[in-house]
Amino acid sequence: MSWDLAKEVRMVVPTSSPSSNSLQTPNQTATQNSPQEISDLKNYSGYYSNAGEDIEAQKTKRQSKSRAYWNFLRFTALNVYRRLFSFIFLANLAVFIAIMITDQSSLLAFVNATAANLTVCGLMRQPLVVNTIYLVICSIPRSAPLRLRRIASKAFHLGGVHSGCGVASFVWYVGLVALISKHYWFPDDHYSSSTDAAQHISTAVVVIAYIILVLLLFIMTAAYPVFRFKHHNGFELTHRFSAWAVVALFLALLLMFSDQARKAEDLSLGQYLIRLPAFWLLIVVITAIVHPYLLLRRVKVEPEPLSKHAIRLHMNHARTRFGLGIQLAKNPLWDWHSFATFPDRAAEKGPNSTLQSSDSFSCLISKAGDWTTDTIERPPQYLWKRGVLVYGFAYVMRLYKKIIVVTTGSGIGPCLSFLGDGNRPAMRVVWQTRSPLKTYGQGVIDLVKQMDTDPLVMDTDLTGRVDMVPIIERMTSEFGAEAVCVVSNPRLTKKLVYELEARGLVAMGPIFDS
């Protein structure tokens, strides 16, 4: 790491990772680093004067098997996301079974239940709804009891509601298709024609019903985590276009079914529809889908190349605040990518900047796929944005008085969104990355210093990847932090959050469910 950087931020060369075969002695370290770095090393990495001592002695004692099972159950198998999913799915399943037992002939019950779950599923991804949820839940003052604030800070698990309602809607729809098929193939005069229209189900209704069933199954398969992470672009396109097709076809199915059922009650189509909850629910879903695209704009972008691995994009079409992210695309009908935003300083835009607005903001992009690689190699002048800026995981951290921000690589970008709030919590920053000055530039380093005047930066080009858990645990205790915010890649984020929670710390990180 450059010594210029060492003057600006605290640089630490910690102990080797647990997987390393050798342990660097203090004397060896002293030949490479300044006395200040060795002091930091002792304070935060648990460096012992006895170089021959096993590195495992620096860690907490191995947990008992029973404790490990409990931690896995609480923090992984039954985390908040999965608890929300399970609660919603099981509640729907209980009602589904009750209806099958008591009134399985009622098509309308299945139609309305399917529409209700599809509506909630869609609203949990609607920017205005998401922002409202975050603003309401995170309005709890920091003077509130810590336990209440910890519960509120789980708001970012709302994706569990989205997936729970999505799967539940599939269950209800399977029941609906089963009843439609039964009435079509085996019409029975004892059914109530006013609710089932058993004698009037057409072939077109059956065909559309089965097409929707296939599309729903396709959506669920593509959303399965293994497929989603390996083929994210395919997942996104499948999720978007198949969902649009499902809503359009379900509306067509509802109109055809209603047109047949209304005759039994001697009503016009309009009179029948306004009495049908599913119709109004579909109107809500369609509005939620269309709204972001009404705000679709091609916006000016001012790229600032930082290195071969990172670029900073400046924009000024909106004003950002703490915790807000933006969705960007090069083609509005293709893949969209979400990035955290943070405000610019006037001096950062440079004398040749075309962004004159004082409201300009940035997002940090590093090489992590085909879209980001192309953006870095061929910096765009314009990009598409849709909807409004959306609150994300970082916004819940405003509930705490003191936090530790832990990040690796370009994860520092989302963390910089803390700069958008003058009332942000007091924080310490732990950042592990390769060649921070070379990769991200002095401007980003200066922004990190605005969050923490004495950040802990680890250059992996010099140290390799470091086990940060002991460092975080020690720093949390010394700083008196109420929570730890982890932003890294999905695998490392999950690993760090689990290990910290298993040690009794309040830790959280994005869940990468979309």
pLDDT at position 348: 55
Residue 163 included in any domain? yes
Position 19 confidence tier, pLDDT thresholds 50, 70, 90: very low
Position 400 in a domain: yes
From the list 487, 460, 484, the residue with the least C-alpha distance to 17 is 460
> 301 and 409 share a domain?
no
Listed range (77-81, 108-112, 213-217) with the worst mean pLDDT: 77-81
Mean pLDDT of 261-290: 92
Q: Are residues 18 and 83 in the same domain?
A: no
Q: Which pLDDT score is estimated for 384? A: 96
- E-strand spans in 307-395? 310-315, 324-329, 337-340, 342-343, 361-366, 382-385, 390-391
Q: Which of 338, 367, 391 is the last residue of a domain?
A: 391
User: Ranked by mean pLDDT, which of 33-37, 172-176, 410-414 comes out on top?
Assistant: 172-176
What residues make up the domain containing 152? 79-294
For residue range 440-449, list pLDDT tens digits in order: 988 889 999 9
107 lies in a domain?
A: yes
Query: How far, in Å, CA of 68 to CA of 70, rounded?
Result: 5
Write the CATH number for 485.
3.40.50.80
Identify the domain boundary among 267, 294, 321.
294
Assess whether 426 and 447 both reside in one domain.
yes
Does residue 382 sit within a domain?
Answer: yes
Q: What torsion, rounded to 10 degrees, do the Cα atoms 229, 235, 240, 244 define?
A: -140
Tell me how far apart the alpha carbons of residues 496 and 467 are, in angstroms, rounded to a whole number: 9
Q: Per residue in 186-207, pLDDT tens?
A: 876 544 444 444 446 889 999 9
Q: Six-digit token pair at 235?
A: 């997942």
Distances (CA, A) of 196 to 104, 176, 225, 246: 11, 11, 38, 22
**Directed axis angle between helix 107-123 and helix 232-265, to 10°?**
140
Q: Tell whether 157 is covered by a domain.
A: yes
Same domain, 374 and 415: no
Clarify whether residues 238 and 103 are in a common domain: yes
Question: Looking at residue 305, which CATH number applies to its domain?
Answer: 2.40.30.10
Kindly report the pTM of this predicted structure: 0.83
* 79/83 Cα distance (integer angstroms): 6
CA distance 313 to 361: 8
* CA–CA distance, 91 with 111 (Å, rounded to integer): 17
pLDDT at 28: 36
Q: What percent of the chain has pLDDT over 70?
A: 82
- The number of domains in the chain is 3
Sign for the CA dihedral angle at 364, 398, 320, 237 comes to positive
- Specify whether the CB–CB gap between 168 and 160 falls below 8 A: no
Task: Please report the pLDDT score of residue 183 as a whole number.
Answer: 85
Same domain, 165 and 90: yes
Classify 66 as helix, strand or coil.
Answer: helix
- Does 468 share its domain with 441? yes
- Assess whether 151 and 241 both reside in one domain: yes
Judged against a pLDDT cut of 70, whether residue 419 lies above it is answered with yes
